[in-house]
Amino acid sequence: MNTQWIVRFHDGNAAMRQLLGGKGANLAEMTKAGLPVPPGFTITTDACRAFYAGRTLPGGLMKEVTDALEGVEAQTGRRFGDPQRPLLVSVRSGSVDSMPGMMDTILNLGLNDETVRALADETGNARFAYDCYRRLVQMFGNVVFGVEGVHFETLLHQLKQSVGAASDQQLTAEHWQTLIEQYKAVITRLARTTFPQNVQDQLRLAVEAVFRSWNNQRARIYRSVNRIPDEQGTAVNIQAMVFGNLGDDCGTGVLFTRNPSTGDNVLFGEFLENAQGEDVVAGVRTPRPIDELENAMPEVFAQLTRTARQLEAHYRDMQDIEFTVERGKLYMLQTRVGKRTAQAALKIAADLVAEDTITPDEALLRVEVGHLDQLLHPAIDPEAKLEVLATGLPASPGAASGAAVFDADTAELWAKRGDRVILVRAETTPEDIHGVIAAEGVLTSRGGMTSHAAVVARGMGKCCVCGCEDARVDEASRTAVIGGRVVAEGDIITLDGSTGRVIAGHVPLKDADMTPELMQMLAWADDVRRLRVIANADNPEDAAKAREFGAEGVGLCRTEHMFLSPQRLPVVQAMILAETAEDRLVQLRKLLPMQQADFEGIFRAMDGLPVTIRLLDPPLHEFLPNLEELVGRHLRLTLQQGDADAAERDALAGLIRKVRSLHEANPMLGQRGCRLGIVFPDIYDMQIEAIFRAARVCMLEGVRVLPEIMVPLVGHENELRILRELIDRVAGQVLGADAREVPYKVGTMIEVPRAALTARKIAKHADFFSFGTNDLTQMTFGCSRDDAEGKFLSHYVDNKLLPANPFQVLDGEGVGQLIEWAVAGGRAVKPQLKTGICGEHGGDKESIFFCHSAGLDYVSCSPYRVPLARLAAAQAQLTLGDAADERQERIVS
């Protein structure tokens, strides 16, 4: 069978996105709709995959390209390589999922020493023709032959200096000709090859290079951050060139059909007069707001506005459009669904529902779960006193403080060692992607709201201030002068991406509020979702915050966190170090009222909702001083040998003995969780008593209390059996006749594989299962999280041995099987058994999708993640439906 490697624009449509990439599919769709699109065709993603499989362009591809090019020649009345009327084309990458700026593009292909003269004659503008040619040689040298851009930039800089030109505009055709020869020489010297004069060679090499750019470093990083599959491949679009740099009746620009930062329903964009292609997005010159196009070119503006509305109506979503005006004629070069901030995503989705363009269900699928994270990030406290250094463009909202760094590598390095950094650049290029990922925020001195930095930061939900012209950035000396103040590498600055302010030092932040749009969206989500969303909260404040965010209860209260305050820790230590049972009891009686007070606070905050309290989990040594430090101190005292120190030395020796006796080789697998509770029942006894006392006090106040006591680290049914007996006994003692008013549940965490495997037996003693997927992942993989993440895990993920970090995204294939098995087994014994998850994964979208399809009843996550979990649970229902029931039936049978 003959595979067809290319599709002409007039033969494709928007539904062919997988084959044509987003750009190709939309160019075809616009062509079909009769919009002014320069003619062209798309080389399919199939061809890219074949290129990678065979390590060469697939057979027959270039023949198809030549044939299709003839069609473009017929439409334009020009010929590729023709010495009189040459056709010039662009070769642009275009993947299925938008990856702005990550892959390569070459413009002006078809120019050589001969055709450039024809272009000069035809346009009557030799300066323009040679400028186009030098851009081609530069892009070609860079993209095809891998000569770094800096070599070309340096030559241009030197030329300008030598002729005393302040800007590119002052260079003449002769200057460009000189530069072209220098560029060619640099290619010959560094790449040991020559710039091809044969236009067919140019085309073939360009297509190969764009395919190769699918695998450049920045594209790979972008894919892994955005979880875009590596095997997808990119399409390549070959299209007749139109020129925005032929004179003052020309220009190029970017237009969003709504404001991508706020979501307001107004056209938003920028344009540059007399400029080509990438000038706007590259941020090299700061462009003018789109409104000014109305004065400059009223007819073009009217047509553009009409087309923008037409495209938005057609795609039923906000569009990001690229256009070029050549001698007063408008051309559409691209349309795609525009990247937007969280705030804009919510507003646009809600407005489109109000405008009857989409349904609430569609609106729920339009908002990215990760965006809610950004929205709920704290913002600058309006009461704070600020030292504002300068103000740039508010390109992506949110606020962030960090140390100023001036290159992407440093940003990555410092962030890895735990510093918060702000990446400060004159402008960012796609090569900076790893720095943008590592930074808390991005500041650029050049570039507009549609510059690379702005688009990428918005997509990632990072705050960004760009085009800050009061900042002079000197990357070489690692300093910037911002509003007259020198900021050196490491100095702390704060960005306010909502107003564009750049502020000296750290600034206090304030919690974000739930906006009406967010409340509306979450209300829609609540109508749809099947999973309940509850929160991990260890104190009354977190519980209250979680409830404000819509949590329907507490799924995990880690009681050990209540032991760590400076007032309590000494009591906890005294309890652990007690030599006799009586001594221990004395200390436990001191702890009891403290724990009780905390529980009361949480019960009040969660009035009417279940509160799951986990009994003590970590090994006891975690509450004691560090052994190495103690030994060091002891050694110092011994060396001093003063009599006065003798008593202290002996006390220290006693402490060291005790800490040693509790020391374990593998504490995560040692005496912790229920193992501790069984060997030292007094501690659990005290905790259970505190829970029921608190429950009773609250109940008498009129609070509806629904405690659920959870036993950690159970691996054998006998562990839960014994501890359930203890819980029931203490409950009876504390509640007495009030027991009916406090309906409580007893359940277990499932975090040891054996517990999952023997779920049927364990379920006999449990009212609920809560999957502790942090430990369950550690124990299923057989690696400790702390060691794995610091050592081999990032290597595994980078090298695709694992699809993702399993501590962040639940490993459905392995850990997931244990969960499904345990749910099926537990429910077979107890159909009403409540099941949920309380590991970190409870706040991760993909993991929430897994929980939905595994038929769990709830997910529990940190308070700030509750809104995103509500949205993710609704998206899971809308995309996966009720798949869970069938799946569970299969496992049971």
Binding site for ligand PEP (CB under 6 A): 556, 558, 617, 751, 772-775, 838-839
What is the spatial order of strands in the sheet that 89-95 belongs to? 6-8, 40-43, 234-240, 89-95, 105-109
- Beta bridge mates, 201: none
Q: Is 861 a catalytic residue?
A: no
Q: Which two tokens stand for residue 753?
A: 């594989």
DSSP H helical ranges for 355-500: 360-366, 369-375, 408-416, 433-438, 452-460
Kindly name the residue from 371, 377, 434, 452 that is annotated as catalytic.
Answer: 452
Task: Compare residues 29 and 617 and give the one whose CB is closer to ligand PEP.
Answer: 617
Q: How far is the CB of 279 from ligand PEP (least distance, A)?
A: 51
Q: How far is the CB of 506 from Mg ion (least distance, A)?
A: 34
Do 116 and 129 meet the contact criterion of CB atoms below 8 Å apart? Answer: yes
Task: Compare residues 487 and 556 and give the one whose CB is closer to ligand PEP.
Answer: 556
Taking phi first (over 0 means left), then psi (-120 to 50 degrees means alpha), and beta for anything else, what does residue 673 get? left
Task: Compare residues 538 and 685 and give the one whose CB is closer to ligand PEP.
Answer: 538
Task: Compare residues 332 and 838 and give the one whose CB is closer to ligand PEP.
Answer: 838
Q: What letter represents residue 94's amino acid? A: G
Residue 773 binding: pick among ligand PEP, Mg ion, none (C-beta 5-8 Å cut-off by kind):
ligand PEP
Residue 839 binding: pick among Mg ion, ligand PEP, none (C-beta 5-8 Å cut-off by kind):
ligand PEP
Kindly name the residue from 466, 468, 838, 861 that is annotated as catalytic.
Answer: 838
Using CA atoms in the order 116, 117, 120, 121, what is the torsion angle rounded to 10 degrees?
Answer: -140
Surface-to-core class of residue 695, CB atoms within 10 Å of its CB (0-12 exposed, 13-18 middle, 19+ buried): buried
Q: How far is the CB of 593 from Mg ion (least distance, A)?
A: 27
What is the rounded CA–CA span in Å between residue 165 and residue 174?
13
Task: Compare residues 374 and 559 and give the one whose CB is closer to ligand PEP.
Answer: 559
Q: Which stretch in 359-367, 390-398, 638-646, 745-753 sits in contact with Mg ion by CB under 5 A?
A: 745-753
What is the rounded CA–CA span in Å between residue 116 and residue 354?
53
Supply the Cα-derived Rg of the chain in whole angstroms: 32
DSSP H helical ranges for 164-196: 173-191
Q: How far is the CB of 769 from ligand PEP (least distance, A)?
A: 12
Strand (E) or helix (H) holding 49: helix 45-54
What is the rounded CA–CA span in Å between residue 842 and residue 819?
13
Q: How far is the CB of 747 from Mg ion (least distance, A)?
A: 14
Q: How far is the CB of 777 from ligand PEP (least distance, A)?
A: 8
Taking the CB of residue 810, how many other CB atoms lie within 10 A of it?
A: 29
Q: How far is the CB of 711 from ligand PEP (least distance, A)?
A: 12
Surface-to-core class of residue 12, CB atoms within 10 Å of its CB (0-12 exposed, 13-18 middle, 19+ buried): buried
What is the rounded CA–CA span in Å between residue 615 and residue 712?
7
Under rule CB under 5 A, residue 538 binds Mg ion? no
Task: Compare residues 283 and 555 and give the one whose CB is closer to ligand PEP.
Answer: 555
Task: Compare residues 34 and 782 and give the one whose CB is closer to ligand PEP.
Answer: 782
Residue 558 binding: pick among ligand PEP, Mg ion, none (C-beta 5-8 Å cut-off by kind):
ligand PEP
Distances from the Cα of 245 to the Cα of 139, 221, 294, 797, angstroms: 17, 33, 19, 45
Under rule CB under 5 A, residue 542 binds Mg ion? no
Task: Compare residues 402 and 836 and give the one whose CB is closer to ligand PEP.
Answer: 836
Residue 715 binding: pick among ligand PEP, Mg ion, none (C-beta 5-8 Å cut-off by kind):
none
Q: Which residues have a Cβ under 8 Å from the Cβ of 724 and sit 6 or more positions away?
A: 711, 746, 765, 766
Q: How far is the CB of 848 from Mg ion (least distance, A)?
A: 19
What is the rounded CA–CA span in Å between residue 676 and residue 667?
12
Q: Which residues have a Cβ under 8 Å from the Cβ of 878 and sit 6 or more positions away?
A: 361, 364, 365, 528
Q: Of 610, 772, 812, 867, which one interacts with Mg ion (CB under 5 A)?
A: 772
Q: What letter represents residue 631's amino acid? A: V
Burial string for 330-348 (b: 16+ CB within 10 Å, else e) reads bbbbbbbebbbbbbbbbbb
Q: Which two tokens stand for residue 343?
A: 């705030």
What is the rounded CA–CA span in Å between residue 372 and residue 368?
7
DSSP helix/strand/coil, 788: helix
Q: What backbone phi and psi angles, to 5 degrees, belong to 80?
A: -70, 120
Q: Which stretch in 152-160, 565-573, 737-745, 775-783 sits in contact with Mg ion by CB under 5 A?
A: 775-783
Task: Compare residues 574 and 669 and give the one whose CB is closer to Mg ion.
Answer: 669
Backbone CA torsion sign across 534, 536, 538, 544: negative
Under rule CB under 5 A, residue 826 binds Mg ion? no
Q: Is 838 a catalytic residue?
A: yes
Strand (E) or helix (H) holding 667: none
Q: How far is the CB of 772 from Mg ion (least distance, A)?
A: 4
Q: How far is the CB of 751 from Mg ion (least distance, A)?
A: 5
Q: Which residues have a Cβ under 8 Å from the Cβ of 274 and sit 6 or more positions away?
A: 244, 245, 246, 247, 248, 250, 251
Which residue shows structure tokens 């932040």? 509
Q: Which two tokens stand for residue 875?
A: 């998206």
Residue 206 binding: pick among Mg ion, ligand PEP, none (C-beta 5-8 Å cut-off by kind):
none
Task: Compare residues 199 and 620 and give the one whose CB is closer to ligand PEP.
Answer: 620
With CB atoms as reference, the residue minimizing the distance to Mg ion is: 775
Q: How far is the CB of 538 from ligand PEP (least distance, A)?
A: 10
Residue 838 binding: pick among Mg ion, ligand PEP, none (C-beta 5-8 Å cut-off by kind):
ligand PEP
Task: Compare residues 751 and 846 and give the one whose CB is closer to ligand PEP.
Answer: 751
Q: Of 351, 517, 775, 846, which one interacts with Mg ion (CB under 5 A)?
A: 775
Q: How far is the CB of 808 from Mg ion (least distance, A)?
A: 16
Q: Which stretch in 346-354, 592-600, 601-609, 771-779 sits in contact with Mg ion by CB under 5 A?
A: 771-779
Task: Compare residues 234 and 777 and give the one whose CB is closer to ligand PEP.
Answer: 777
Q: Which two tokens stand for residue 200?
A: 């067919």
Which residues form the catalytic set? 452, 838
Residues that bind Mg ion in the complex, under the rule CB under 5 A = 751, 772, 775
